[in-house]
Amino acid sequence: SEAHHQLHAFFFPFMAYGHMIPTVDIARLFAAHRVKVTIILTPLNAPIFSKTIERDRSSGLDIHIQILQFPAIEAGLPEGIENVEVLTSPEMVPKFFVAIKMLQEPLEHLMEEHHPDFIIADMFLPFATEAAGKFGIPLLIFHGTNFFYQCVQESLKCHKPYKGVTSDSETFVVPGLPDKIEMTRLQFTNDFKVETEFNTKLMDQMRDAELKSFGVLVNSFYELEPAYAEHYKNVMGRRAWHIGPVSLRNRDTIDKVQRGKKASIDEHYVLNWLDTKEPNSVLYICFGSMSRISRSQLYEMAMGLEDSGFSFVWVVRTLKDEEVERFLPEGFEERMEGKGLIIRDWAPQVLILDHPAVGGFMTHCGWNSILEGVTAGVPMITWPMFAEQFYNENLVTQVLKIGIQVGVEESNSWIETKDVSVKKEKIGNVVTQLMGDGEEAEEMRRKVKELSEKAKRAVEEGGSSYEDLNALIEELKMCRKPSP
């Protein structure tokens, strides 16, 4: 006797690949746990996921997409800007958030129409907390980051240890954490570093929305950062559920179709190419969906890779989608034939990382990328660019010890790398260090393989992430209001 209706969840992702991909994965996860799911997307972002969602529905899941118009023009942006990936200058960022804020009213209309029992919204959409409040339903926040970052940021906010140093490059210890974590002010996220009215206000709204929320969903697993999961929940007193790695739990259904955008290179071509290589012999290089490499850094990277002598798959994105070939060293592509594969634009990252030939991952330290690297059991070279990526680097190198820093010191304020932040000699050395058979690299490979096993166990029935999701759904069932 089912006295209650089926739970119905709204999912509202932030319009960036690094947020939409895991949010859709989480939505599919809830659907697999027999929750009815509605994902809110905009006209240009919906088609990226519609095939996957349609397939899920035809295999019996109760999963749907609702489209909200994105008010780009009303907010003073050019038409067609619906994703941070296509913002072409930092001045567009505040306008993007103006447009986002305008989505509150249409969201409330959707809620009136569909009566969701709860909402899962990105931290960048703090108005959703207010909307949920109006309807008296729980709202959960999705950060897109990890426990470690949340703990570090909170310690910085409360203890302000960075006030005690005399220069931006002087190291200080982040107090009150389970490990001794060292950082510099140069590594701060931009919102922290540049206290513009826009940044401060958005940060305050986000924090306020989180404190008023039902709790936080974290795409991580307990065994990866147990001390920080405990710290976040018990010392900081936040309610949170760890349910990841979400890419792993969905992999059997999601990998066959292209998640995200259409891969710009035939997936089979890359995988067949990797099939011809020895296990652990290829370095995979990718800086996420947003970061762009400058012309001179592109050149330097090519030289460093060539000098190292290792095989590589390199995903290259430049600022204006320029002809990459024009900025590579003379004859580079001919010399690298069979040895290095360059992918322009979008790569099937999860599939590449999972291939046995891949033995190292040079990453910009976006959280999804790191978690995907951990899940695949691949040690990393860390090349953070901006946002919270330097914090993630600290997690990888200081806490987990499964990666080597390439040695970037300063966080960018925008998506393109500085002219040359890392020289070819350094690149060559670090690649050799990670891909070679030294003891340090051996130890990293051993550690990351162990974490990969734990990641897989976490999402299986009885595993920590599986059980946390079940516990959350049970709790949400208790909050359910009778059908209208």
What is the set of active-site residues?
Answer: 19, 122
Concatenating the DSSP letter of every residue in 422-469 gives S-HHHHHHHHHHHHS--HHHHHHHHHHHHHHHHHHHHTSTTSHHHHHH
Q: Give the strand order in the sheet containing 311-316.
A: 340-344, 311-316, 282-286, 358-363, 380-382, 403-405
Place of tokens 């958030």: 97
Concatenating the DSSP letter of every residue in 81-117 gives --SGGG--STTHHHHHHHHHHTTHHHHHHHHHHH--S
Could you tell me the smallest distance in angstroms from the CB atom of residue 96 to ligand UDP? 15
- Which residue's CB is nearer to ligand UDP, number 270 or number 302? 270
- Which residue's CB is nearer to ligand UDP, number 305 or number 343? 343
Asked if 406 contacts 426 with a C-beta cutoff of 8 angstroms, the reply is yes
Report the candidate in 382, 440, 441 with the shortest Cα–Cα distance to residue 409: 382
How many Cβ atoms are within 10 Å of 204's Cβ, its own excluded? 11
Could you tell me the smallest distance in angstroms from the CB atom of residue 176 to ligand UDP? 27
Could you tell me the smallest distance in angstroms from the CB atom of residue 122 to ligand UDP? 12
How many Cβ atoms are within 10 Å of 100's Cβ, its own excluded? 19
User: Quick one: tokens of 268?
Assistant: 């089979």
- Which residue's CB is nearer to ligand UDP, number 168 or number 267? 267
Phi, psi dihedrals of residue 246, rounded to the nearest 5°:
-70, -25
Q: Which residue is nearest to ligand UDP (CB)?
A: 18
Could you tell me the smallest distance in angstroms from the CB atom of residue 161 to ligand UDP? 27
User: Quick one: tokens of 479?
Assistant: 């909050």
- Which residue's CB is nearer to ligand UDP, number 14 or number 118? 14
- Which residue's CB is nearer to ligand UDP, number 345 or number 409? 345
Could you tell me the smallest distance in angstroms from the CB atom of residue 385 to ligand UDP? 8
**Cα 377 to Cα 371: distance, rounded to the nearest angstrom:** 10
Residues contributing to the site for ligand UDP (CB under 6 A): 16-18, 21, 260, 286, 288-290, 315, 346-347, 349-350, 366-369, 372
Could you tell me the smallest distance in angstroms from the CB atom of residue 283 to ligand UDP? 15
In three-state secondary structure terms, 205 is helix
* Beta pairing class for 8-12 and 118-122: parallel
- Which residue's CB is nearer to ligand UDP, number 92 or number 290? 290
- Which residue's CB is nearer to ligand UDP, number 118 or number 142? 142
**Cα 110 to Cα 433: distance, rounded to the nearest angstrom:** 54
User: Quick one: tokens of 78?
Assistant: 């050019």
